[in-house]
């Protein structure tokens, strides 16, 4: 083992009482206190890589054995783009949609599947209708292992096709949403199934990968004042928070940013948790069960297996905010990201833009402060709600002037805001 590698062996401890999880597979909850088992950060903190180009340049910070070969498709090292639009503060976008399967989930799934091979596992299973499913399918193909994806039967088939194309088997379950978790319970490690879902309780390892988003931001620009993150299950915001907090604790960053969670209108569970000062797993799960609203932002629908208590604690400790945005605002943000920035982001990720517009309108962020918005997923992965009126049916002998007039007429359409 070289000097640059973590000095201590990998430790997985209860995040509440510190009890050691023992050997994998770990229990879902600590038997002493019902806390959740977490990979302990390396101590002492390893140095940050001089010029990181991808997630695995941070491998000393990730819970893999020294001899393990990563299963990688080139995840991480995503662009940090300064906004071209006018804002009353400095704004940059961390473009996680640039990851191999188009979302931030590629980081945790690359780590989860790398860990599967390290542990000798041959069959991955994930309960997800969204980004985690597609990422699991792709990384399982790359690793040469089987992949099963569990979804409720009413999941639109268009969302499932790409995962099946990677060779994954998709099981559309006839029953309520809870039936998906029940089948996941039957496909466990005792039968040779490796659970790769991107929440901490189901897979402890994967959560460590999302910290690298924070590492990359700090190395590119220092610590911003605000970081705005769309929240579904919450693993992304919680992981980013942990990344900033670990760098600050190790003296590698001067402070942590304020975190802003963004959820769909009617589903602002984090706002409810902050208002009630409710930070326990069970308490936040109960709040989740009480929130029900229809939204097109499908990746931002939380379920009870989520990391939302972790998110509530992170937003609270950072002095941040919990915002909610409606579908119309998210769609407007989606158009502005496309037309103003050249970025095609799915509605769930574009909610971030809508929240930043709210911060600007409300004057919450001081002039000169620096804001980073996390753009989680690419727009090409969801069906277009409405095609913009820029497709023109024209005759073959159309004059140049007519082409130019059509463009000029269309340009007067305002980009919605
Ligand atoms: Zn415990």
pLDDT digits (tens, 9 = 90+) for 23-49: 999 998 999 998 999 999 988 999 999
Pair type for strands 146-152 and 123-127:
parallel
Given a cut of 60, whether residue 213 has pLDDT beyond it is: yes
The pLDDT score that the predictor gives to residue 226 is 98
CA of 32 to the centre of ligand 1 (A): 5
Does 128 map to a domain?
no
Mean pLDDT score, 327-332: 95
Closest CA to 380 of 98, 132, 140, 141: 98
CA of 13 to the centre of ligand 1 (A): 8
Does 297 map to a domain?
yes
Mean pLDDT score, 209-235: 97
Q: Angle, nearest 10°, between helix axes 106-118 and 131-143?
A: 40
Given a cut of 70, whether residue 399 has pLDDT beyond it is: yes
Confidence of residue 7 (pLDDT cuts 50, 70, 90): very low
CA of 239 to the centre of ligand 1 (A): 20
Given a cut of 70, whether residue 206 has pLDDT beyond it is: yes
The pLDDT score that the predictor gives to residue 417 is 42
The pLDDT score that the predictor gives to residue 156 is 80
Confidence of residue 345 (pLDDT cuts 50, 70, 90): very high
Does 337 map to a domain?
yes
pLDDT digits (tens, 9 = 90+) for 64-123: 999 999 999 999 999 999 999 999 999 999 999 999 999 999 999 999 999 999 999 999
Range of the domain at 230: 80-102+207-381
Mean pLDDT score, 361-367: 95
CA of 238 to the centre of ligand 1 (A): 19
CA of 345 to the centre of ligand 1 (A): 39
pLDDT digits (tens, 9 = 90+) for 137-192: 999 999 999 999 999 888 888 888 999 999 999 999 998 778 898 999 999 999 99
Least confident stretch, 221-225, 303-307, 329-333: 303-307
Helix-strand-coil percent breakdown of the chain, rounded to 5? 40, 15, 45
CA of 199 to the centre of ligand 1 (A): 18
Please tell me the distance from the alpha carbon of residue 354 to that of residue 357, in angstroms, as a whole number.
Answer: 5
What CATH number does the domain containing 88 carry?
A: 3.40.50.1100
CA of 184 to the centre of ligand 1 (A): 24
Given a cut of 60, whether residue 10 has pLDDT beyond it is: yes
CA of 256 to the centre of ligand 1 (A): 26
Does 96 map to a domain?
yes
CA of 2 to the centre of ligand 1 (A): 33
> Residues for the chain: how many in total?
417
Given a cut of 60, whether residue 414 has pLDDT beyond it is: no
CA of 411 to the centre of ligand 1 (A): 60
CA of 88 to the centre of ligand 1 (A): 45
CA of 37 to the centre of ligand 1 (A): 8
* Residues 123 and 188 sit within 8 Å (Cβ to Cβ): no
The pLDDT score that the predictor gives to residue 28 is 87
The pLDDT score that the predictor gives to residue 176 is 77
* φ and ψ of 350, to 5 deg: -70, -20
Given a cut of 90, whether residue 383 has pLDDT beyond it is: no
CA of 243 to the centre of ligand 1 (A): 22
The pLDDT score that the predictor gives to residue 175 is 83
pLDDT digits (tens, 9 = 90+) for 54-75: 999 999 999 999 999 999 999 9
Given a cut of 70, whether residue 227 has pLDDT beyond it is: yes
The pLDDT score that the predictor gives to residue 296 is 86
CA of 180 to the centre of ligand 1 (A): 27
CA of 23 to the centre of ligand 1 (A): 16
Confidence of residue 221 (pLDDT cuts 50, 70, 90): very high
Mean pLDDT score, 219-247: 97
CA of 258 to the centre of ligand 1 (A): 28
CA of 16 to the centre of ligand 1 (A): 5
CA of 134 to the centre of ligand 1 (A): 33
Chain centroid to Cα 15, Å, comes to 21
pLDDT digits (tens, 9 = 90+) for 266-314: 999 999 999 999 999 899 999 998 888 888 888 888 777 789 999 999 9
Does 188 map to a domain?
no
How many domains is the chain partitioned into structurally?
A: 1
The pLDDT score that the predictor gives to residue 278 is 96
Does 256 map to a domain?
yes
The pLDDT score that the predictor gives to residue 287 is 94
Helix (H, G, I), strand (E, B) or coil at 34: coil
Given a cut of 90, whether residue 256 has pLDDT beyond it is: yes
Q: Is residue 368 exposed (0-12), middle (13-18) or buried (19+ Cβ within 10 Å)?
A: exposed
CA of 42 to the centre of ligand 1 (A): 20
CA of 46 to the centre of ligand 1 (A): 27
The pLDDT score that the predictor gives to residue 3 is 45
CA of 40 to the centre of ligand 1 (A): 14
* Residues 336 and 249 sit within 8 Å (Cβ to Cβ): no
Given a cut of 90, whether residue 411 has pLDDT beyond it is: no
Does 180 map to a domain?
no
CA of 288 to the centre of ligand 1 (A): 23
Does 317 map to a domain?
yes
Mean pLDDT score, 189-207: 95
Confidence of residue 413 (pLDDT cuts 50, 70, 90): low
Dihedral sign of CA atoms 159, 326, 371, 243 in order:
negative
CA of 51 to the centre of ligand 1 (A): 38
CA of 38 to the centre of ligand 1 (A): 11
Given a cut of 70, whether residue 5 has pLDDT beyond it is: no
């Amino acid at each position: 083992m070289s000097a640059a590698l973590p000095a201590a062996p990998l430790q997985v401890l209860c995040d509440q009482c510190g009890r050691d999880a023992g050997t994998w597979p770990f229990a879902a909850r600590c038997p002493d206190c019902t806390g959740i088992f977490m990979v302990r950060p390396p101590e002492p903190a390893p140095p940050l890589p001089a010029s990181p180009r991808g997630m695995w340049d941070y491998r000393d910070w990730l819970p893999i054995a020294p001899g393990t070969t990563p299963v990688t498709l080139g995840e991480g090292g995503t662009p940090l783009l300064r906004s071209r639009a006018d804002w009353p503060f400095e704004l940059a976008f961390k473009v996680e949609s640039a990851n191999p399967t188009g979302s931030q989930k590629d980081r945790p799934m690359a780590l989860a599947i790398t860990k599967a091979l390290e542990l000798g596992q041959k069959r991955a299973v994930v309960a997800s209708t969204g980004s985690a499913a597609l990422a699991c399918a792709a990384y399982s193909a790359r690793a040469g292992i089987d992949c099963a994806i569990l979804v409720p039967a009413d999941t639109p088939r268009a969302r499932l096709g790409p995962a099946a194309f990677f060779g994954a088997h998709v099981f559309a379950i006839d029953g309520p949403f809870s039936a998906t978790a029940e089948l996941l319970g039957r496909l466990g490690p005792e039968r040779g199934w490796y659970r790769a879902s991107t929440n901490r309780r189901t897979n402890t390892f994967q959560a460590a990968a999302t910290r690298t988003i924070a590492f990359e931001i700090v190395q590119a620009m220092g610590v911003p004042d605000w970081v705005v993150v769309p929240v579904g299950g919450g693993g992304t915001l919680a992981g980013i928070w942990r990344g900033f907090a670990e760098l600050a604790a190790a003296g590698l960053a001067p402070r942590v940013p304020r975190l802003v969670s963004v959820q769909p209108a009617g589903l602002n569970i984090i706002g409810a948790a902050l208002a009630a000062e409710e930070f326990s797993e069970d308490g936040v799960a109960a709040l989740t069960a009480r929130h029900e609203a229809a939204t097109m932002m499908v990746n931002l629908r939380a379920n009870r297996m989520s990391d939302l208590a972790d998110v509530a604690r992170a937003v609270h400790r950072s002095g941040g905010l919990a915002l909610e945005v409606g579908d119309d605002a998210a769609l407007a943000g989606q158009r502005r990201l496309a037309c103003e920035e050249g970025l095609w982001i799915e509605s769930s990720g574009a909610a971030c833009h809508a929240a930043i517009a709210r911060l600007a309108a409300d004057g919450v962020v001081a002039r000169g402060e620096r804001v980073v918005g996390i753009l989680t997923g690419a727009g090409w992965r969801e069906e277009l709600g409405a095609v913009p009126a820029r497709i023109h049916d024209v005759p073959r002998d159309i004059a140049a002037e007519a082409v130019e007039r059509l463009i000029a007429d269309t340009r007067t359409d305002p980009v919605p805001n």
